[in-house]
Structure 1
């Protein structure tokens, strides 16, 4: 299906945020998110809200074993999350992508091959993103409506370019447990629980076995604090009065 048709679908406006295969490299450094956040429609790191809501997001999947295990944990608790999927993995495991969508989770675009996009020209960037959007649309019947760059490496100019050309906001995060360093399930859970507050976007990776093992403690701990998982399409809604905050970097 041509991208212009999907773009027409998205032209109604911004309506969403969210919310380890072995050997997937994380060689590029993550960008630093400063404390002084400013509004920017093209970039979201958190939501200003009085509601006790957080967005739980998972990057780099789907994983053939770990993602189904995570989906079972979410289903058992009636929770919804956002999965930022890599395009070439979507076409390898389409049944898992379909399950993510069918069970009510949000799917975001995480590029086709997980490169450092800050080093790419606009044509290469859009190719990575469009190819992934097309794969997700063909599998689920729904186009992704947000983008997360691998490593968080995406310049302000690139974020504005993507928003202007595809109406895809770049969703970053406000809580990073650095689970890709494999510190252990207990550490991952403690880091998430200690830093999460209403409006937080929590970064994690469902390709890491330690991360998935950390999720029962994480989910139950967030619930014990009265925090709920937001449905991204409803959370980022111009009529609700909630607005995203940008990182203002680069």
Structure 2
């Protein structure tokens, strides 16, 4: 579903219902997100209707020990900021790369702990996957993710509403999918992204495939050549930069 930017920021909050969930965060406490983060929010975002010539590049499934640093070099050379949806167990495995992503001004989102199909899992199992990843990202970067992307996009409407109600995380999907995971070749990946992107697009890619990384110079330069600028998901939603947010840990209830 695509939301008009003004409606997205000002509409009355959705009426979300879900059974109360017990706290599953680590014993040292849970992350308290600021109230303004979710005021008048919606549970699912695929794209944002905007007159501004902006797109959000997103990269899933990392960090990868060699490909993600290559990608970061390409982004830095072009002064482009992106959003990385990281897998929790890979954050724990590659904390230095995770810190670099955050230090260079990119946003980090939650992509679950172990990349399972979540649509068949219980609410409690879903929350445990997401809480573990939030804790890992917070421990490495000092701030938790503020959006969630489900592996494979496999997340029911009821699960999206449940997550939004209990963890205040909107589910971020996408409007441009080059299907880079099928490894069609770097030229095909770049062509699909450049030709199908529109203002407000959220572009799905995966920085664990060498073909995707090889496609990025033509992709990034091609989108720039079309007059499009790059923003993070938070910027697309009209929220403050992820790095500018201040979070605190509070005791689990």
* Alignment TM class, shorter chain as reference: 0.7 to 0.9
* 1:2-30 C-alpha deviation (Å, 9 max, x unpaired): 68641x23433239xxxxxxxxxxxxxxx
Runs of 4+ off more than 4 Å: 1-5
Give me the whole-angstrom Cα distance separating, in 1, the residues matched to 2:154 and 2:233: 22
Higher relative contact order (CA 8 A, sep 6+): 1
Gaps of at least 5 residues in structure 1 are 16-39, 240-250
Structure whose alpha-carbon radius of gyration is higher: 2
2:37 corresponding residue in structure 1: 13
* 1:222-244 C-alpha deviation (Å, 9 max, x unpaired): 000000001333321279xxxxx
Q: TM (normalized to structure 1)?
A: 0.82
Give me the whole-angstrom Cα distance separating, in 1, the residues matched to 2:164 and 2:28: 15
CA RMSD of aligned residues (A): 1.8
Q: Kindly tell me the number of residue pairs found equivalent between the two proteins.
A: 215
Give me the whole-angstrom Cα distance separating, in 1, the residues matched to 2:44 and 2:28: 22
1:119 corresponding residue in structure 2: 120
1:42 corresponding residue in structure 2: 43
Rate the CA distance shift 1:177–1:159 in 2: closer, same or farther, 3 A.
same
1:30 corresponding residue in structure 2: none
Rate the CA distance shift 1:188–1:3 in 2: closer, same or farther, 3 A.
farther
Contact 2:110/2:134 (CA < 8 Å) preserved in 1? yes
Write out aligned runs for 1:175-214 (5 A): 175-214=176-215
Rate the CA distance shift 1:180–1:4 in 2: closer, same or farther, 3 A.
same
Give me the whole-angstrom Cα distance separating, in 2, the residues matched to 1:103 and 1:65: 17
Name the SS of the counterpart of 2:204 in structure 1: strand
Rate the CA distance shift 1:75–1:2 in 2: closer, same or farther, 3 A.
farther
Q: TM (normalized to structure 2)?
A: 0.81
* 1:165-215 C-alpha deviation (Å, 9 max, x unpaired): 000000000000000000000000000011001000000000000000000
Gaps of at least 5 residues in structure 2 are 1-25, 241-253
